[in-house]
Every structure is written in C-alpha cells, then in structure tokens.
Structure 1
C-alpha cells in the first residue's frame, strides 16, 4: 500500500489521489487503508516517512527552485497544510511537521547558517511559509497570473524571490 500510495501521490499530488485509486494500484480493498492507516493523510505521511524520497543532502545552499518544483508538483498536502492550520489530530500535526522539518526547514536553515546570516531559524521559517503560500495560492486559483503560469516559471521566479532571504 505504501509503495502504491507513494507512486500515486508523486504522480498526481495529494488532493488528486483517492483512497480508491491507492487500493486499486496496490490490489487491496480500500477499506484496508483506513484499517491500517486511519486516513489518507496519515497514509501520505507514512509514505513520505518510509524513505522513498530521501531528505535533501547536506549542502552549502538549498536548491529553492528544486524544492518549489517538488512542492508544486505534489500540491497541497497534510505536510503543507500543517504550516497554515493545525491538524485536529495532534499526532498527525506532529508527524507532518517532522516531515517538513526533515525535508525543507533543516536544509534552508543550513543554507542560512553556512552563509553566516543572522537568525537562520527565522529565515528558514520565513522561506518555508512563503513556499507554502506560493503552492496554496497557485492551487486556490484566485491569483490569475500565478495560477496560469508555467510551473517551471513559477519555480524559477519564486526561488529568485526567496533566495534574497538567504543572501542570494
């Protein structure tokens, strides 16, 4: 189930993947997903945690364009939503933040630290909040140009904008 979920979440994003689709890909009854994972959101986090996609390697600079491209491709997910509204389930909230910490916050903070910038954690959180805002705003469709723009253009321009917080 985890492999099927990971494949579908990667292909379609969280919102466009259904429990029924995951069950069909895994060759199991979708009810088993609820039994073993509780919800689609918890299955999503389990798929992220299982190690299919490693956390970004330690580097001098985080590749903001690559991070933004990944986030735009996957779309709004429980991990992103955890930044703007707390999940009702505290365990799900903690798990989502753990994934976000490992995949985004740590890499951005390392970049700020290597650059010798003041307040590296605050910079990491500002960049993360902006990344999430770009993804959610694009998905909401209220900002016409942002919604219609090519994903690669959004990733490039968004990375340029956010790079200034990291001294780029």
Structure 2
C-alpha cells in the first residue's frame, strides 16, 4: 500500500506571477521610500513572496530597481516638457503616486552606484534629453544647461506640491497650475 500524504498539497509555484508581484511591490516601495530606504524584506513582504526570490529572478535589489525603471518606461522616446499633455501627465502621476525613482534621483542621490547610474540615465532619457534636443535644434548654445535647469525647476515644483509644505502650490487646481508652469518653463 502506497504511503498517504495527510498534509496539505504542496503549493504550486508560479514563477511569472511571483516575479510580477515582486516587480509591482518594488515599484511601489521605491516610489514611496526611495531605493535606499527600501529593503528586500519589505519588497518580499508586500509581494507575498520570499525575499530571496529577488536574487533568483532579478539578480539582486539593484537589478530589480533597473527592472522597475524599464517597466515604467512606456515609450522609447518621450515628448519634452513643453508638450502640454506630457507635462500634465507627469504632474498627474506624481500627484497620484508620488515621486518615482527617476524623479527622486534629481534631488537625492542613491547610495548604490548602480542604482544611481540607472536612475540618472533614465532621468536624462525621459526628461532632460527631450528638452536638450529641442533647445539644440533651436540653436541654443547652452542647450544642456538649460535642459537641466528646467528639469530641476519641474522636479522642484512637483515635489514641493506633493509635500504640501507650500500650501497654495499644494492646493492649486492642476488646470490653474499647468499654465503657470508652462510660463515658468518658457
């Protein structure tokens, strides 16, 4: 007579689902706390997955961070901040979700050099480069400096709005705020 197993049936593992849950949880936590203040344990707990699976599926926390950045990238090219829809979309996203890892790198460097480099590269690709390209095509000799200056202004406004410290900025209706920010960028 074959032995019987009276315990619960072993849980079937779904690597793809676990990987997706880790990616989602990491994106949320990196956005809320930043890279440095998010632990593998935090990510695993939020995802309902053993934190050791981060190493198995992604190669470690820094590579998971890179995967989050790549997953956030919804296009190979981005419109510059002068595009009204792009500007409104970024403000809306930061208002709803808080600053993501790419926005945060503009104001606070990461301790992990790989994470810092990845986030800085994405900030350049998503926000700085489209502005730099626009200014260069207009013949601006200081296109790079101007693009970085406007990126810093945008990030500053978005983060100050999110913190609520500047009460009028935080309470401003986006429809009233966007024309003012567009004028600031001009």
- Answer whether TM exceeds 0.5 for this pair: yes
- Answer whether contact 1:79 1:97 (CA < 8 A) is retained: yes
Per the alignment, residue 32 of structure 1 pairs with 53
1:38, distance to aligned residue in structure 2 (A) = 4.2
- For structure 1, which segment, 113-122 or 97-106, has the greater mean C-alpha deviation from structure 2 after superposition? 113-122
In structure 1, distance between residues paired with 2:151 and 2:144: 10
- Within 5 A, what are the aligned runs for 1:65-104? 65-104=88-127
- Within 5 A, what are the aligned runs for 1:6-155? 9=27, 14-15=31-32, 19=43, 20-21=45-46, 23=47, 28-29=49-50, 32-33=53-54, 36=58, 38-39=60-61, 43-50=64-71, 52-57=73-78, 62=83, 63-155=86-178
Any unmatched runs of 5+ in structure 2?
A: 1-17, 34-41
1:125, distance to aligned residue in structure 2 (A) = 0.1
- Answer whether contact 2:69 2:119 (CA < 8 A) is retained: no
Q: Residues 71, 105 of structure 1: CA spacing in aligned structure 2 closer, same or farther, 3 A cutoff? A: farther
* Aligned length, in residue pairs: 156
Any unmatched runs of 5+ in structure 1?
A: none
- Answer whether contact 1:45 1:99 (CA < 8 A) is retained: no
Q: Residues 7, 69 of structure 1: CA spacing in aligned structure 2 closer, same or farther, 3 A cutoff? A: farther
In structure 2, distance between residues paired with 1:160 and 1:2: 43
Across the aligned residues of Structure 1 and Structure 2, the Cα RMSD in angstroms comes to 3.4
Q: Residues 158, 6 of structure 1: CA spacing in aligned structure 2 closer, same or farther, 3 A cutoff? A: farther
TM-score (norm 2): 0.64
TM-score (norm 1): 0.70
1:112, distance to aligned residue in structure 2 (A) = 1.1
